[in-house]
Amino acid sequence: MIKSMRPQRWTLSILLLSVGLTLASAQQKPLPDTVVPAIDEAPTKAHSYNWMERHQAVVDRVKQGNVDLILVGDSITHMWGGVPQPGGPGQPLWDKYFGSRNAVNLGFGWDRTQHVLWRLDNGEIDGIQPKLAVVMIGTNNMGVNTSEDIAEGVKAIVDRIHHKLRRTKILLLGIFPRDPKPDSQTRQQVADVNKLISKLGRQRGVTFLDLSSVFLNSDGTISPEIMGDYLHPTPKGYVMWAQAMEPTLAKLFGDKPREN
């Protein structure tokens, strides 16, 4: 009698285990799109610029080696110009602050965190070991994703750089403020995300720097002289950015600060 019961007990145990695994699988939260690498087709479709062509230009430059500094981000970083494709309001400052540091611009207009992840996985940092990576990303995720999911996307980028570039230090910038007035919903979300990603500065090799106050008036408003569209810095805004970031950048990079 006891022997005949054993198969039934095993069957019941397996059934319960199967049900438990099914329930656990159903309860798992799907990954947010902010951490799932994806190609950014938007700028090409909008005839803004050819995203894949720029990606290939970065890959081709990286293959040449001699890269000590990378700037990773979206259009705000893209408009520093420099290498591999010059042009933009920040171009006059490129040679002074970045060019002599063997920098490559990995800023791509329209990009969200998931698009940066795809680029990092597809050749843009292969075969190099820069001294420093400057990262600012997430403003294009605003209003599309939750603050928590955006922060997860930023964390995934920091983790990916650490995994692939083990000796590279990371200067993680807080997302720049946007919109004319401080009470806008987007401005608040920027602040929320910055609070979350500031914790990444506790990681070894990561320095968090929030430059928000550099671009704000005393009442929290943004002047169009600094950000013409209340999102992208003007030439004056790029000067302010470069000067405010330079002391920290130089310290992490290991050279002397450029004179303002």
Q: Write out the catalytic residue numbers.
A: 75, 229, 232
Which stretches of the chain are DSSP H helices?
A: 2-27, 42-45, 51-63, 75-78, 91-97, 113-121, 147-164, 185-197, 235-253
Instruction: Count the Cβ atoms, other than its own, within 10 Å of residue 29.
Output: 5
Q: Which two tokens stand for residue 131?
A: 């001294």
134 forms beta bridges with 71, 171
**Residue 213: partners with Cβ closer than 8 Å, 6 or more residues away:** none
Amino acid at 177: P
**Quick check: helix, strand or coil at residue 113?**
helix
Interatomic CA distance for residues 241 and 73, integer angstroms = 15
DSSP run (H or E) holding 86: none
Whole-angstrom distance, CA of residue 115 vs CA of residue 145: 14
Report, in angstroms and rounded to the nearest whole number, the Rg of the chain calculated over CA atoms.
22
Q: How many residues does the chain have?
A: 260
- Residue 137, classed as helix, strand or coil, is coil
